[in-house]
Amino acid sequence: MKNYFFSFLLAILFTSCQVTETINLNEDGSGTIEAIQLRDEHSYMLLMGEKYSKEDKFQDTTYIFRDYITKYNETFLKYTQREQQLFQKYANAKVHAKKSSFDKEFKTSITFPFTKIDAVPNLYNTEDYANDLENNYALTAESHFFDLKYSFDGTTFKRIVKVINEAEIEKNKKQINNFKSKFNILSFTQTYALKYNFPRKIKSVSNSAAILSSDKKIVTLTFQLSDCLENPESTNLEVVLE
């Protein structure tokens, strides 16, 4: 059973990563969103010990999701109409994944241009859906823990996370607690950062920990990754523009 976004975050917790989600929003509601996962090499070395120097991996891949729909069209056509529509939402997503033991760089970036932000899918599912198409996996085997959506009405921006399977989240919290008990997570760099750029000055932000730029057009909010895993809805955000 696939546990997409939650499993994504859980996996990077165990590999000690930084995740940054950046949105550039224009006055007309168009813009771009980018999600970057970057492995912190110092933290990962602390986790792996002597195994770190023995790592041998290289991958440098770039693709646009629509290319997967075209390449694996025979598989795509086997899915239901609703599932095909789901895949089509990711058509413009661009993925660049580099995993290099030699360069000590493990980074995945997913970018998505939009005309309206409410059309942006959950980008953290992109690689998994590409994998589904490539391997003809059934989407009925998926188990989603929560939904991630965005909205902007010209004045108010919202990042909306909604838990849809509380029982599964509670079950997986045990893995997080085991990790915390085994390692001192305070010595690792494991952050989840939101950086949103707006076309006008910001009037108010729902989270008091948010930091505004000097021109009040950029809001930055940083979480501990483990906190996000235990309470996904803590990353909800509402920003009101002047």
What integer pLDDT is reported at residue 146 of this predicted model?
Answer: 74
Contact 206, 239 (CB under 8 A): yes
The domain segmentation of the chain, as residue ranges, is: 4-241
What integer pLDDT is reported at residue 237 of this predicted model?
Answer: 98
What SS3 state is found at 73?
helix
What integer pLDDT is reported at residue 1 of this predicted model?
Answer: 38
Determine how β-strand 191-197 pairs with β-strand 218-224.
antiparallel
Residue with the two structure tokens 């609703």: 82
Task: Report CA dihedral (201, 161, 235, 215) to the nearest 10 degrees.
Answer: -10
What integer pLDDT is reported at residue 86 of this predicted model?
Answer: 94
How far apart, in Å, are the Cα atoms of 29 and each of 50, 97, 118, 150, 238? 49, 28, 10, 12, 16
How far apart, in Å, are the Cα atoms of 73 and each of 14, 99, 135, 138? 35, 28, 12, 15
- 120 contact partners, CB below 8 Å, separation of at least 6: 33, 112, 114, 150
Using 50 as the pLDDT threshold, list the residues of the chain that sit under it: 1-6
List pLDDT tens digits, range 114-150: 999 999 999 988 988 998 999 998 885 555 677 899 9
What is 14-64 written as a DSSP string? HTTEEEEEEEEE-TTS-EEEEEEEEE-HHHHHHHHGGGGGG---EEEEEEE
DSSP 121: -
What integer pLDDT is reported at residue 124 of this predicted model?
Answer: 86
DSSP 189: -
Distance in angstroms (rounded) separating the CA atoms of residues 54 and 51: 5
